[in-house]
Chain A
Amino acid sequence: MGGKPEDTAPGEAAGAAPRRLTLNMGPQHPSTHGVLRLVLDLDGETVVRAEPEIGFLHTGIEKEFEQKFYQQGVTLTDRVDYLAPLSNNLCYCLAVEKLLGLEIPPPAQWVRVMLTELTRLNSHLVWLGTHALDVGAMSVFLYCFREREDILRIFEMFSGQRMMTSYFRIGGLALEPPRGWHHAVKRFIEAFPCKVDEYEELLTRNPIWLQRTRGIAQVPLADLLDLGVTGPMLRAAGLAWDIRKAEPYSSYEKFDFEIPTRQESDVYARYQVRVEEMRQSARIVRQALEGMPSGRYVADAPEVVLPDREKMKTEMEALIYHFKIVTGGFRVPAGEVYQAIESPRGELAYYVVSDGSSKPWRVYMRTPSFGNLQCLPRMLEGGLIADVVAGLGSLDFVLGDVDR
């Protein structure tokens, strides 16, 4: 931690009353996972005041949305939360589809569920690996990234991209799933529960891990709610609220899974909740795989969805639609939609306002990381400096998601 002592209060002599130390942590600090700056006031080893400074990764994505056709906007959503691109794709597409009143065929919905759950696994794996690394358990990182690589290969198989997938489009999927995808997903998901056992073997009863995480960075549920925290953080404080159950979207009501909760609201409880969520996500992926309906992967809406390549070359009507969509986008009825989904980090919502033209008037992203990060001072103040990194890790934020 590259800190420097700043001036002591006037009249404070060396060796007298305990000296206040202001410590600057970040923005370039490995455990801030991006560019977060923390200003910590210390009294000895106790954190008296913690103030997060954000905005280093602000890219003005919301402004850029207003210049693009609706369909082009999908590529922007990937770049917000770069550990959960498909969750962002999904949320934006659902919002615009709600404005358009589009009906998405079941196979597309199921592929969406399957891939967003794989995204949750991907995100939780990166979180677990880096969080354990921050707290001092090096090997977990290697295990987690081994499985993450498999997930990225599946993403690449579907979309041609490992991270910035843009695979969900308004009206369905960008491409039909590739041949042989079933086999690849099946092989991964059958092996995965044993891999979670491996992580748990390394951590769950590890005395060092327990000492570093139990009873650390506790925040009562009432404070979490008041501060706008969502997702696994709330579930680790005992609230069984998951948007996949409370306000099901994209056929989630057809899947059987549980909402894991813990009561302690400390770093260890958050770890337990997320590990259990990985097991539940694996369950969902397996159900999606086994019960995958057959049919089309895009909605029947020629004015929104690009025509089939073959038809475009043989049918005049398809060619006209293709030309119109590519050059002028499609018009979306005036109105507004607030679509919330459960991203790996909590409540992700897109507020899309349309004025009836082919470009959105306003797109607002209610990102879970921004909401969750606000509880950081409450979490760290009064704790020890040595626990700051453990507390930060348990929040699981992505700075791209915070700053937008």
Chain B
Amino acid sequence: MLPAELEAIPAIGELARWDPSVITEGRLERGELTLVIEPAAILRVCQYLKERGFLRLSSVTAVDWHPSRPRFEVVYHLHSLETNQRVRLKCRLDEPAEIDSVTGVWRAADWYEREVWDLFGIRFRNHPNLRRILLPEDWTEHPLRKDFPVHGRRYDYAEEEA
């Protein structure tokens, strides 16, 4: 059940009534609206919100809460130009982390999801081109994970020969 102040926001109240099972948590902190969404429903929720004015996908990113569980949070920032309302959607995922791509809803999601894959190793199902975007293609790890050392790994030339 959402707090009353969130129910009062038109698009959010409608979303909660449309399918109460998709929102597991909602809060308004420091004037910012956060909804925790059931990962399996993310595509439906995004589609629904886009039809209700959230034309802009501002960004997609992730947070690694290692060693806590569930480990990852995928964070979507949406913005409605009509009502000047921002909303943050969050999906909590555990390893192996995988979630539906929202590229079908906003084309803007393409590069953002590739970046999250590249830096966190979270897979996006049905992404048209899920390749690394910032790191070289032959890179093997995902550096923004908390268990990746900030100085990187020591390179071993013997491995290269093998």
* Residues in chain A near residue B88, CB distance under 8 A: 336, 338
The segment from B15-23, B37-45, B51-59 that touches chain A is: B51-59
Whether A54 is near chain B, meaning CB under 8 Å from some CB there, is yes
Q: Which of A67, A246, A247 meets B150, CB within 8 Å?
A: A67
Complex contact B108–A55 (CB within 8 A):
no
Whether A284 is near chain B, meaning CB under 8 Å from some CB there, is no
The segment from A40-48, A120-128, A204-212, A345-353 that touches chain B is: A345-353
Complex contact A351–B61 (CB within 8 A):
yes
Whether A195 is near chain B, meaning CB under 8 Å from some CB there, is no
Q: CA–CA, A67 to B143, complex, Å?
A: 14
Complex contact B135–A62 (CB within 8 A):
no
* Residues in chain A near residue B34, CB distance under 8 A: 336
Specify the main secondary structure of chain A where it touches its partner: mixed
Q: CA–CA, A58 to B132, complex, Å?
A: 12
Residue of B nearest to A378 (CB): B107
CB of A4, distance to nearest CB on chain B (Å) = 21
Complex contact B58–A58 (CB within 8 A):
no
Complex contact B58–A347 (CB within 8 A):
yes
Complex contact B133–A62 (CB within 8 A):
no
* Residues in chain A near residue B77, CB distance under 8 A: 338, 349, 351, 366
CB of A204, distance to nearest CB on chain B (Å) = 30
When each residue 1-38 of chain B gets 1 if its CB lies under 8 Å from chain A and 0 otherwise, what string results?
00000000000000000000000000001101010000
Q: CA–CA, A41 to B106, complex, Å?
A: 25
Residue of B nearest to A98 (CB): B30
Q: CA–CA, A256 to B64, complex, Å?
A: 42
CB-CB under 8 A for A337 and B81, given A66-B150, A227-B107, A227-B108 = no
Whether A241 is near chain B, meaning CB under 8 Å from some CB there, is yes
Q: Which of A63, A98, A226 meets B108, CB within 8 Å?
A: A226
Complex contact A241–B143 (CB within 8 A):
no
Complex contact A371–B61 (CB within 8 A):
no
Q: CA–CA, A373 to B108, complex, Å?
A: 10
- Chain B contact patch, size range: 20 to 34
Complex contact B134–A55 (CB within 8 A):
yes
Q: Which of B58, B119, B133 meets A54, CB within 8 Å?
A: B133
* Residues in chain B near residue A347, CB distance under 8 A: 58
Q: Which of B64, B75, B135 meets A58, CB within 8 Å?
A: B135
CB-CB under 8 A for A228 and B106, given A63-B144, A366-B77 = yes
Complex contact A228–B61 (CB within 8 A):
no
Complex contact A228–B144 (CB within 8 A):
no
Complex contact B134–A54 (CB within 8 A):
yes
Q: CA–CA, A374 to B106, complex, Å?
A: 12
CB-CB under 8 A for A349 and B59, given A55-B135, A338-B88, A374-B111 = yes
Q: CA–CA, A60 to B143, complex, Å?
A: 8
Besides A64-B150, A228-B58, A370-B111, 18 new A-B residue pairs in contact (Cβ under 8 A), listed by A number: A55-B133, A62-B144, A63-B148, A225-B55, A226-B106, A228-B107, A246-B84, A337-B30, A338-B86, A340-B86, A349-B58, A349-B59, A349-B77, A364-B75, A366-B59, A366-B77, A374-B110, A404-B134
Q: 6 A-B Cβ contacts within 8 A?
A: A226-B55, A226-B107, A335-B29, A336-B32, A340-B86, A349-B59
Q: Report which B residues bind A (CB closer than 8 A).
A: 29-30, 32, 34, 55-59, 61, 63-64, 75, 77, 81, 84, 86, 88, 106-108, 110-112, 119, 132-136, 143-144, 148, 150
